[in-house]
Amino acid sequence: MSQNFRLDKGGYINRNKKISFKFNGKKYFGYQGDTLASALLANGVHLIGRSFKYHRPRGFLGVSVEEPNGQVQLYSGATTEPNAVATTVELVEGLVAKSQNCFPSVSFDFGAINNLLHKFFPAGFYYKTFMWPKSFWYKIYEPIIRKAAGLGIAPLKPDPDRYEHKFEYCDILVVGSGPSGLASALAAAKNGASVILAEDKPRFGGSLLTDEVTIGNKKGKDWADETIMELKSMPNVIVKNRSQVFGYYDHNMMVMIERTKDHIENPDKFTPRQKLWYIRAKEVVVSTGSIERPLVFGNNDRPGIILASAAKEYMKVYGTLVGKKPIIFTNNDSGYDTAIIFKKNGIDPLVLDVRLKSESSVVKEAKDLGIKIRFSYGVVNAEGYKKVNSALIGKLNTEKTGYENLEKVSCDCICVSGNWTPTVHLSSQSGNKLKFNEKVNAFVPNQPKQNESTIGSANGSFTLKKSLEEGFDKGFNLSKKITGKDSKISTPTSNEKNYEQQDKFWCMPLPKNKSYKRCVDFQNDVYVTDIELAIREGFRSIEHVKRYTTLGMATDQGRTSNLNGLQLVSNIEKKIIPEVGHTTFRPPYTPVTIGAIVGREVGKHYRPTRKSPIHAWHEKNNAVFVDAGLWLRPRYYKQGNENLIEAAKREASNVRGNIGVCDVTSLGKIDIKGKDSAEFLNRVYTNAWMKLPVGKARYGVMLREDGIVFDDGTTTRISENHFHMTTTTAQAVNVLSHLEYYLQVVWPDLDVNVLSTTEQWAGAALAGPNSRNLLEKLFPNMDVSNESIPFMGFKEGDLSGVPARIFRISFSGELAYEINVESGYGMFMWEKIMEQGKEMNIEPYGTEALSTLRIEMGHVAGSEIDGRVIPSDLSLDGMLSKKKDFIGKRSLNRKAFIEPEREKIVGVVPLDKKTMIPEGSHLVADSNASLPNPKLGHISASCWSVEYNNPFSLAILINGKKRKGEKLYALSPLKNKVIPVEIVSSHYVDPKGERVRS
Amino acid sequence: MLEIKCPYCGKRSQNEFSYGGDASVKRPELGKEISDKDWDDFIYNRKNPRGKHSEFWHHIAGCRQWFKVLRSTATHEIFKTAKIDEEL
């Protein structure tokens, strides 16, 4: 198809590079430098999508981020992108786009029946209708609403693209590269400040791209280009286009998204699609410009009705006509600019101006060019369904409440100009409470709450002269404050057209007996009648009106609708706008991809992976790994076709009957030194530590101040003032912070230092009746007898020349030793153990066997220490010293904690001795009781007992100690299981603890 | 994201720190008799002021020092930071 609506010349597109693309399956051509929107318009395509609620045909209203209608679905498969705003999508070869929210096609859409039924879908329709019958919500209403909700379709496959994060610091961040932004960036940079200038569009210059102005005797556009060149050449300046600063956060933390890939035809393999910048700026200059408001009249949402400023930009930047028979409908002078450009391109526009007259120079210029102008006139109703083809226009009576006459005029587009809304989103996000400026009839920033300054038209300064002055001024003053330097450049002279004050009239009345739909919020389909209804039903606060009607709540954040909505409320309520107030703006200013927010932290990169120095051996020996916090630990070592339970049984049996070895490197280790170390441990742990001899380890339990068990582990006295503490893998980080808190904040007088040594030591646990024999082989010069290294004993040894620490501690409940060497020798140690243990048939065991062994023994771990238990719940009463105070002790005599019927740890065996009880199952007395079945306790951990060859679980059970021998039921609704069980002791194997001491 | 001045390292972003609660709370002395109510206040009861609040922060991904911050709970403005043994 040819580009019938492309001007012969003009625009900043590259006409030498033709680009093909597809829209709704049809092939079109555009040029490099086009957006999807400008290319479609150049091809005469106006029907882009269907509206959200009533499925009304919609075309482009804007030219950039203000666009409420032109949302499309890009591409397909994993790279598909829903709700892409076609006015911001740069054209690349092979781009594929389609319309959203329509079925079967944008031209013929079943959903349009909603438009005929609109009387049944007023504001608040959902709130009123789906309240009853209650049972309908789940199965009928919700699925239908879900299907109808949203516009595009999210991709179902993982995003193949790469996204990056960048952190940057600067003195001054300037947001927007219009005249005021360029001026402030230049002034600040020249005065020695480090500056970042961010522009969301591909082209710099803002209004200078379209306005016929001069700065310092240069064309505005040329001045902009030269200024950008100069800024780019300065080492203290970062200049970024395609970069949207979308969020203003605390302490001047600005977040910006840079589009780095989608506009490139053949990007390199590792080009990120987008970059998310976190910028900490000492000062932020908001020069985000302003957005034109539409006028409101009958069927003002038809395709072909477009903002006058957008029509101008399509002509000036893209050489594209939005129509060949335009009506310019305006309440101010700026609409005339668009008319003049049409005229200069050989198109005859008709200007309708609701004002009585205007004598300004731009109106005179239009008159001199022979442009037809009708004052006191406006568009009453746009006609044509999928594209406007004529307009009912009318002469307003003097009160502007009705019409003196009506007539029909044919046209192919209506360019509307309802004056300008400053883009105050970022200023508002920063905490600046906006104030209403009567002169510009809009909200502008007031008092900054952070180091923020808003300038130019975002500040309501609509002349070029004022914008430049504010820019140069702000740039110099802010940089002076930061750098202390004083080199000022003078503000260049400028020349521009003068605009008169606007008329505040913006909403056309309905003619007698007519009920045309007049649209206020295009994206969320909110009409004048909806807002009137909300007020009639008693909603007064603008925040309530907003939520009831959804005005301004769409992804365009009401950029074209907010102020018109406010004006409407103020007219109906007979209040002035400042009394009505405004709604709150929140980040992000434009939608941001989840990919950009996540950055590189996807999949395994979501968090660091910690591996022991023995990891490679585990991998080579068929280990199946499990995440233990950040650590990857072998869960079991797979042999043949065995499953998890079978492998755990094999590995655990070998420990009980022979010898096994487990990599325990991940256990938290903390080195404690200083002359008050014993005293400190005495305060931190519940049991006594002062008299622990050198060369002995002790099991300890830590509480939080509220009496809840925090962590457990063994601590060994290496020398008089030197201890080695171990913590659980999961709590290692928190225990260190806890110790540091008490040492630095609560008891700074104690002479103690703590340091994490988790990664400095590699650990291997030898467990099983044969472990002493292996230890003897590993340390031939050491006396390994029970007398020399008794249970809880400690010795330093020499492992073939490598210094080692040997602790006789046991989690498995068997005779066991834990050997630690410096991490770098971890693999050496492990291989030595495997080599020397080979003739004893040593086998490595993973965390599943480790759990099996500890569960059988009734040793508690993280699944019991779950942040809800006190020591006595875990039968650890014996660990509580009566002679000294310790952290959390005072809490233990609280009423609820001394309650005799508290939950206690017990053992649970299924009556059939076959069925494994799912962890998390509830224990109940009557499996058939009516729901909710009163819960007596829960299963915390389950294993297959290798000692008794039947399943065994630990549970936390109300009044548990007195229930031994009782028959209960374990219920798991998730696994659909009801298992009759018997309550037994939690110490299922070796209750007297003879093996560890053997 | 807040910018917090660690008294040892200087200004750093909030993601290097972890919050450590109300700095006006003082742990009762060990081994001293204390009423249920006073202990209850120590464990659970905190003021929730709108405005200035003194609090502990831990430079957990930095020098690992605990220190004090005077911060506005309404605006997040940080008025002052200080070492543990200094006055805010």
Asked whether residue A427 carries a pLDDT value surpassing 60, the answer given is: yes
Q: How confident is the model at residue A148 (pLDDT cuts 50, 70, 90)?
A: low
pLDDT, average across residues A835-858: 97
> Tokens 């009533």, residue?
A54
> Domain A510-573 - what CATH class?
mainly alpha
- Average pLDDT for chain B: 96
Q: What is the pLDDT of residue A578?
A: 80
Q: How confident is the model at residue A54 (pLDDT cuts 50, 70, 90)?
A: confident
Cα–Cα distance between A587 and A167 in angstroms, integer?
A: 19
Q: How far is B2 from chain A (nearest CA, A)?
A: 6
Q: Angle CA(A501)–CA(A503)–CA(A508) in degrees, nearest 5?
A: 160
Element (H, E) at A460: none
User: For residues A235, A238, A241 and A246, what is the CA-based torsion angle, rounded to 10 degrees?
Assistant: -170
Give the three-class secondary structure for A469. helix
Q: How confident is the model at residue A150 (pLDDT cuts 50, 70, 90)?
A: low
ipTM: 0.98
With contacts defined as CB-CB under 8 Å, which chain A residues touch B56?
741, 745
Backbone angles phi, psi at A122, to 5 degrees: -75, 180
Q: What is the pLDDT of residue A205?
A: 98
Q: What is the pLDDT of residue A128?
A: 67
* Architecture category of domain A615-667+759-865 in CATH: 2-Layer Sandwich (3.30)
Radius of gyration of chain B (CA): 14
Q: Pull the structure tokens for residue A529.
A: 């009648």
Asked whether residue A149 carries a pLDDT value surpassing 70, the answer given is: no
Asked whether residue A124 carries a pLDDT value surpassing 80, the answer given is: no
pLDDT tens digits for range A510-520: 999 999 999 99
- Average pLDDT for chain A: 94
The partner residues of A326 in beta bridges, in order of sequence, read A413
Q: CATH classification of A14-125 is 3.30.1360.170, yes or no? A: no
Pick the CATH number of A900-998 from 2.40.30.110, 1.10.238.10, 3.40.47.40, 3.40.710.10: 2.40.30.110
Task: Check CB contact under 8 Å for A280 and B13.
Answer: yes
Q: What is the pLDDT of residue A590?
A: 94
Q: Are strands A709-719 and A722-727 parallel, antiparallel or unpaired?
A: antiparallel
> Tokens 């993280």, residue?
A862
Q: How confident is the model at residue A497 (pLDDT cuts 50, 70, 90)?
A: confident
* Architecture category of domain A294-418 in CATH: 3-Layer(bba) Sandwich (3.50)
Asked whether residue A123 carries a pLDDT value surpassing 80, the answer given is: no
Cα–Cα distance between A280 and A284 in angstroms, integer?
A: 9
A861-870: burial string, b at 16+ Cβ within 10 Å, e else: bbbbbeeebb
pLDDT, average across residues A821-825: 98
Asked whether residue A154 carries a pLDDT value surpassing 90, the answer given is: no
Q: What is the pLDDT of residue A177?
A: 98
Q: Does B42 touch chain A (CB under 8 A)?
A: yes
Asked whether residue A604 carries a pLDDT value surpassing 90, the answer given is: no
Q: B32: buried, middle or exposed (CB in 10 Å: 19+, 13-18, 0-12)?
A: exposed
The domain ranges of chain B are 1-23+52-88
Cα–Cα distances in angstroms (integers) from residue A494 to residues A309, A463, A487, A845, A886, in the given order: 21, 10, 22, 81, 77
Q: Angle CA(A379)–CA(A384)–CA(A390) in degrees, nearest 5?
A: 45
- The H-assigned helical ranges of A710-846 are 732-741, 771-778, 826-837
Q: Beta-carbon neighbour count of residue A788 at 10 Å?
A: 11
Least confident of A109-123, A161-175, A879-893: A109-123
With contacts defined as CB-CB under 8 Å, which chain A residues touch B84?
744-745, 748
Asked whether residue A126 carries a pLDDT value surpassing 80, the answer given is: no
Q: Does B30 touch chain A (CB under 8 A)?
A: yes
Question: Nearest-CA neighbor of A393 among A417, A411, A369?
Answer: A411
Q: Mutate which of A251, A597, A683 to disrupt the B interface (most B C-beta within 10 Å)?
A: A251
Q: What is the pLDDT of residue A112?
A: 75
Give the three-class secondary structure for A229. helix
Q: Does B33 touch chain A (CB under 8 A)?
A: no
Q: Beta-carbon neighbour count of residue A263 at 10 Å?
A: 16
Q: What is the pLDDT of residue A276?
A: 98
pLDDT, average across residues A898-905: 93
Q: Give A577's contacts (C-beta < 8 A, 6+ positions apart).
A: A436, A566, A567, A570
* Identity of residue A785: S
Q: Taking the CA of residue A739 as centre, how many other CA atoms within 13 Å lie in the half-sphere pointing to its CB? A: 28
CATH of domain B1-23+52-88: 3.30.2270.10
Q: What is the pLDDT of residue A120?
A: 67
Q: Are strands A350-353 and A326-330 parallel, antiparallel or unpaired?
A: parallel
Helices A542-549/A528-536 angle, 10° precision: 120
For residue A272, cis peptide bond before it (omega within 30 degrees of 0): no
Asked whether residue A102 carries a pLDDT value surpassing 90, the answer given is: no
Q: Does A601 touch chain B (CB under 8 A)?
A: no
Q: Does A884 touch chain B (CB under 8 A)?
A: yes
Q: Mutate which of A249, A250, A683, A887 to disrupt the B interface (most B C-beta within 10 Å)?
A: A250
Q: What is the pLDDT of residue A130?
A: 65
Among residues 2-21 of chain A, which lie with CB inside 8 Å of chain B? none
* Architecture category of domain A163-290+422-495 in CATH: 3-Layer(bba) Sandwich (3.50)
Residue with the larger pLDDT of the pair A555 and A710: A710
Task: Check CB contact under 8 Å for B1 and A885.
Answer: no
pLDDT tens digits for range B22-71: 999 999 999 999 999 999 999 999 999 999 999 999 999 999 999 999 99
Q: Are strands A95-99 and A71-74 parallel, antiparallel or unpaired?
A: antiparallel
Q: How confident is the model at residue A125 (pLDDT cuts 50, 70, 90)?
A: low
Q: How confident is the model at residue A583 (pLDDT cuts 50, 70, 90)?
A: confident
Cα–Cα distance between A664 and A681 in angstroms, integer?
A: 23
Q: Does A746 touch chain B (CB under 8 A)?
A: yes
**Is A14-125's fold the same as A294-418's?**
no
Closest residue in B to A882 (Cα–Cα): B31
The partner residues of A900 in beta bridges, in order of sequence, read none
End-to-end Cα, chain B, rounded Å: 22
Closest residue in B to A249 (Cα–Cα): B1
Q: Does A891 touch chain B (CB under 8 A)?
A: yes
Cα–Cα distance between A279 and A173 in angstroms, integer?
A: 8
The domain ranges of chain A are 14-125, 163-290+422-495, 294-418, 510-573, 615-667+759-865, 668-757+869-891, 900-998
Q: Beta-carbon neighbour count of residue A8 at 10 Å?
A: 8
Question: Nearest-CA neighbor of A88 among A269, A208, A257?
Answer: A257
CA A108 to chain centre: 37
Q: Beta-carbon neighbour count of residue A700 at 10 Å?
A: 23
Cα–Cα distance between A270 and A759 in angstroms, integer?
A: 33
Task: Check CB contact under 8 Å for B27 and A746.
Answer: yes
End-to-end Cα, chain A, rounded Å: 91
Q: How confident is the model at residue A52 (pLDDT cuts 50, 70, 90)?
A: confident
Cα–Cα distances in angstroms (integers) from residue A933 to residues A63, A924, A927, A969, in the given order: 62, 7, 8, 11
pLDDT tens digits for range A934-962: 999 999 999 999 999 999 999 999 999 99
Asked whether residue A1 carries a pLDDT value surpassing 60, the answer given is: no
CA A387 to chain centre: 39
Residue with the larger pLDDT of the pair A998 and A955: A955
With contacts defined as CB-CB under 8 Å, which chain B residues touch A740?
58, 64, 66
Q: What is the pLDDT of residue A574?
A: 83
Task: Check CB contact under 8 Å for B18 and A737.
Answer: yes
Asked whether residue A136 carries a pLDDT value surpassing 90, the answer given is: no
Cα–Cα distance between B62 and B12 in angstroms, integer?
A: 9
CATH of domain A668-757+869-891: 3.30.70.1400
Q: How far is B9 from chain A (nearest CA, A)?
A: 17
Q: Are strands B10-13 and B3-6 parallel, antiparallel or unpaired?
A: antiparallel
pLDDT, average across residues A133-150: 66
**DSSP for residue A240:** E
Q: How confident is the model at residue A573 (pLDDT cuts 50, 70, 90)?
A: confident
> Tokens 């002034």, residue?
A187
With contacts defined as CB-CB under 8 Å, which chain A residues touch B64?
740
pLDDT tens digits for range A438-458: 888 999 999 999 999 999 999
pLDDT, average across residues A463-479: 97
Q: Taking the CA of residue A56 as centre, how many other CA atoms within 13 Å lie in the half-sphere pointing to its CB? A: 28
Q: How far is A680 from chain B (nearest CA, A)?
A: 12
CA A760 to chain centre: 36
